[in-house]
Structure 1
Amino acid sequence: QPLSLLTLWNIIGSGIFISPKGVLEHAGSVGFSLIVWVLGGGICALGSLCYAELGVTIPKSGGDYSYVTEIFGGLVGFLLLWSAVWIMYPTTLAVIALTFSNYVLQPAFPNCLPPYIATRLLSTICILLLTWVNCSSVRWATRIQDFFTIGKLLALVLIIIVGMVQICKGHYDALEPQAAFEFIREPSVGQIALAFLQASFAFSGWNFLNYVTEEVVEPRRNLPRAIYISIPLVTLVYTLTNIAYFSSMTPEELLASNAVAVTFGEKLLGMFSWVMPISVALSTFGGINGYLFTSSRLCFSGAREGHLPYLLAMIHLKSCTPIPALLVCCTATIVILCIGETHNLINYVSFINYLSYGVTIAGLLYYRWKKPKLVRPIKVNLLIPISYLVFWAVLLGFSLYSEPVVCGMGLVIMLTGVPIYFIGVQWEDKPQRVTYLGQKLCYVVFPQNDPSETEPLTEKSDL
């Protein structure tokens, strides 16, 4: 099914090359980390079914933002948009960019971690380059995406095949039950919660179809089918990838590695070990491009609805690219890139992601109560959203307890959106909007574009 493949392709990304180390570190053992990967896929399936009901009940593209705004009103929708623009997308971009630089630089530093300055500098150059590409041409951006997606397929196929060959040869000591459940350290409930947050980063994207619900043909039939096919396949691929890692690496080796797939390739691929860092670099480079493309469009959509500054709803008439939105995404990503460490950033963004998912699924239950007679082409059993929310509450509660600073900072940034909403959106008698500064900014960055050719596409109120 093309829709299933689209979902599958959107979920499987650079996260599987980033999260295994964090999952193992917090889970405490090989066996328990594999259980986390399998259960993580099951939780995503529950959430996807809830989103399928919302998608056909509120047939608007835009996913969480559209549903929450419709159910709870503008303030809650704005807070979700605010957290996505300033936390979720920039932090995800920062994590993928750091992974890109680590995989590119690791072969040059085989016996130690790449220098901090080198990884940040290369990540920043990558972000700036792809921002320029996305500002210059939509066609270039989409062609880069098409070409570089081969990286993740090549890397995962190589890892799984080589790992299965190793297991067939009898190299599975770390996977035997007695060794697999030998804890490196006894995990607390809080650490297990953080392991799920690390795994959820790799599964992010399962709600992708809800952003294009209006374009899905026969969503009542095709949305559940896409979920039933894609989520189990992703879970299988991720579990097999982790099993393959443990076929040739001890838990200590995996935890000591800064680029797990590179270490795996060096141990098993011999003279062809260079294939692995190149494949992962291709995958992450394409991932950065894709997130820049989608995050800038979210900024653009929020500005068009009057929930973000008017400047972000401006596009260039010739290139048809949202230049101001792209510059905002680029700037926020570089700031986060310079102040965070990869696995802390994953906890940070995954906490906010789960918070958004939980609020959205709570909206499903509220909508059932508020409009019980509304026609729902897909109606899931109540146990599904309730089970998800119970897991959600436990996960977020213990994550906040274990990492109060990392997770609490995300909550604080989200809540800063409350005064911004009342000043910027609710206050209707604001002074005359000033767009000339934004036009001049675009002109300075892209001098070939006349500032008069960058104009807004909305009449909505703004900041």
Structure 2
Amino acid sequence: MQLSREIGFFHGNIFLLSIMIGSGIFVSLKGVLKYSSLNIPVSLSIWAACALLNMITALCHAELGTTFPRSGAPYYFLKRSLGSSVAFLSLWIKLFAFSLGIGALNLLISSYIIRPFYAGCPAPELPKKCLALTMLWSLGILNAQGMVTVAWFQTISTLVKMAVLCFISITGIAPLVTGKKENLARFENALDAEFPNASQVAEALLQGFFAYSGSSILINLAGRDKNPAKNIPKSLITTISGVTVIYLLVNISYLAVLTPKEIISSDSVAVTWMDKVFPSIQWIISLGISTSLFGNTCSILVISRIFYTASQERQLPLIYAMLSNHLCPAVAVIQIVLLSSFIIIPSGLINLIRYVGLMGWTISGLQMIDLLKLRYQDSNLHRPYK
């Protein structure tokens, strides 16, 4: 049995939207603002800079996915160009990076679900982590049902997620447009705030880059795309541009209602924002965010396919290349769920985000070096997109 090409332009955009608009916009805002020294203009500039860096990186990766349209294309690309040792190193970096990201996502979802039960005080860690583990294993079972099931589940959850973010954006920005003094006053002295130093800017970039992470999903799933040469570049340009606009609008909406100190002291920024705007429907927004984030199953999908490719290349045991009746590498899915479970138990969100960002930059750096090397060594290689 082989993995078939089942992803078109629509589901490619859905996967990309779903994995990019994940836990980042709901938790990275605190980290970016904190390491920007609570400086609003610097914070918004960091978000824009991360978007630009992510677009450049994603378009470079698009060349990999269209030149080598197969599952786990970046891994295969590294092995072909820089050798087996570098590819093996990248495989283990990705294993831990994806596992950390999956753990952070499930911790965030559980904090949003539990938060309304502990109004006015922080939620205890034990029930939060137990709920996170329950959701993680549910996502593992869902992924084992195959690509088509995951694709339609992603479609529904992404529509819910977009509806929640549009509601937050419109509701928070409307008072600014109408000239409401209370909201406008929050931006009047923004330029007087303290400027961060170089190390703080670097930390803020790591936090912000986490919110845009996931753009490589289409490259990792290039072997499942019906027309990778056409769909991958087009999806990346349109989706990343749209996500950037949404992120900036949501940031402005938060800052129009909450002070920077209120944002960084909140466990769940969106719920705190809702307390100020519509306290009577706090449960609705909390449930909407939890539902939309729970549908973010793409990380498990991606890393299991990388395991599948590495197994075929004989860098992992052959059992990871075995497919279930749903054409899913089920053993790889179980491995990821187990590792993410061990990571959730002792960890906190901010540290998880820092580690994921650092690993993401490391992998991107390796792939940029690889891309330039292949341009030099194999300049005549057919590249549908360059």
1:144-178 deviation line (CA, Å, top 9, x unaligned): 434333331121011101011121242132333x3
* CA–CA separation in structure 1 for the residues paired with 2:150 and 2:236: 28
Tell me the equivalent position of 2:4: none
C-alpha spacing 1:297/1:203, structure 2 compared with 1 (3 Å)? same
Aligned residue among 157, 163, 167 for 1:154 = 163
Q: Would the alpha carbon gap of residues 233 and 298 (structure 1) be closer, same or farther in structure 2, given more than 3 Å must change? A: same
Distance 1:309 1:220, change over 3 A: closer
Task: Kindly provide the CA deviation profile for residues 352-404 of structure 1, in whole angstroms up to 9, marking residues without a partner as x.
Answer: 1111011101111111222234344444xxxxxxxxxxxxxxxxxxxxxxxxx
Distance 1:138 1:234, change over 3 A: closer
Residue 323 to residue 75, structure 1, CA distance change in 2 (3 Å): same
Contact conserved, 1:14 with 1:280, CA < 8 A, in 2? Answer: no
Deviation, 1:273, is 2.2
Tell me which of 267, 287, 290 is aligned to 2:276.
Answer: 267
Alignment counterpart, residue 347 of structure 1, candidates 342, 354, 365: 354
| Structure 2 Cα separation of the partners of residues 324 and 220 of structure 1 | 30
Q: Relative contact order (alpha carbons < 8 A, sep ≥ 6): 1 or 2 greater?
A: 2
Change (3 A) 1:107 1:99: same
Question: 1:137 deviation in Å?
Answer: 6.6
Q: Quote the residue 1:125 is aligned against.
A: 134
1:136, distance to aligned residue in structure 2 (A): 6.0
Residue in structure 2 matching 1:73, options 83, 102, 111: 83
- The match for 1:42 is 52
In the alignment, which of 319, 322, 326 is matched to residue 311 of structure 1? 319
CA distance in 2, matches of 1:46, 1:150: 27
- Other-structure match for 1:182: 193
Matched residue type, 1:20: L
Pairing of 1:24-35 with structure 2 (within 5 A): 24-28=33-37, 29-35=39-45
Q: State the SS of the aligned residue for 1:306.
A: coil
Q: CA RMSD in A?
A: 2.4
Identity %: 29
Q: Tell me how many residue pairs correspond in the alignment.
A: 373
- Correspondence list, 1:56-135, <5 A: 56-85=66-95, 87-135=96-144
Per the alignment, residue 27 of structure 2 pairs with: 18
| Distance 1:83-1:359 versus aligned 2 partners, 3 A rule | same
Partner of 1:452: none
Quote how far apart the aligned CAs of 1:218 are. 6.2
Q: Find the counterpart in structure 1 of residue 6 from structure 2.
A: none
| C-alpha separation in 2, matches of 1:277 and 1:48 | 31
1:173 matched to which residue of 2?
Answer: 185
> What residue in structure 1 maps to residue 173 of structure 2?
164
- Give the match's secondary structure for 1:374: coil
2:3 aligns to what? none
**Is contact 1:265–1:276 with CA below 8 Å preserved after alignment?**
yes
Could you tell me whether the CA contact under 8 Å between 1:36 and 1:196 is conserved in 2? yes
2:345 counterpart of 1:333: no
Structure 1 residue 242: Cα displacement:
0.3
Deviation at residue 205 of structure 1 after TM alignment: 1.7
Task: For 1:112 and 1:253, locate their aligned partners in 2 and report how far apart those are by CA, in whole Å.
Answer: 14
How far apart in 1 are the matches of 2:371 and 2:74? Answer: 11
CA distance, structure 2, for counterparts of residue 148 and residue 74 of structure 1: 38
Task: Specify which of 290, 301, 310 is matched with residue 302 of structure 1.
Answer: 310
Unaligned runs of 5+ in 2: 1-8
SS at match of 2:295: helix
Moved more, 200-209 or 155-164: 200-209
Contact kept, 8 Å, 2:69 with 2:228, in 1: the verdict is: no
CA shift in 2, pair 1:327/1:59, >3 Å: closer
Q: 1:326 to 1:207 in 2, by over 3 A?
A: closer
Gaps of 5+ in 1: 380-463
How many Å apart are 1:207 and its aligned residue? 2.2
| Other structure's SS at 2:258 match | coil
